[in-house]
């Protein structure tokens, strides 16, 4: 059995309180991983082309708030 299948089986066995704690932990874990990836992408220049496009558009007033 794969690690993922084992993990799925274990998650299905969690109590309601354990599931709530797992969700909170995973949200933080996933958010931290996302932030590290964005920081790495920024540091290595992967986001430069987006910035080069966005900055002039912002200065020209062509940006919509979301």
- End-to-end, the C-alpha distance of the chain in Å comes to 44
* pLDDT score recorded for residue 15: 98
* pLDDT score recorded for residue 5: 97
Within 10 angstroms of residue 47's Cβ, the number of other Cβ atoms is 13
Q: What are the residue boundaries of the structural domains of the chain, listed by start?
A: 15-59
Quote the pTM value: 0.68
* pLDDT score recorded for residue 1: 77
* pLDDT score recorded for residue 18: 98
* pLDDT score recorded for residue 2: 96
* pLDDT score recorded for residue 43: 96
Q: Which residues of the chain have pLDDT under 70?
A: none
């Amino acid at each position: 059995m794969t690690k993922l299948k084992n993990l799925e089986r274990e998650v299905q066995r969690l109590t309601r309180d354990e599931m709530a704690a797992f969700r909170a932990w995973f949200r933080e874990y996933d958010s931290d991983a996302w932030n590290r990836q964005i920081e790495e992408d920024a540091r290595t220049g992967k986001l430069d082309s987006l910035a080069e496009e966005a900055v002039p558009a912002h200065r020209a007033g062509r940006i919509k708030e979301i």
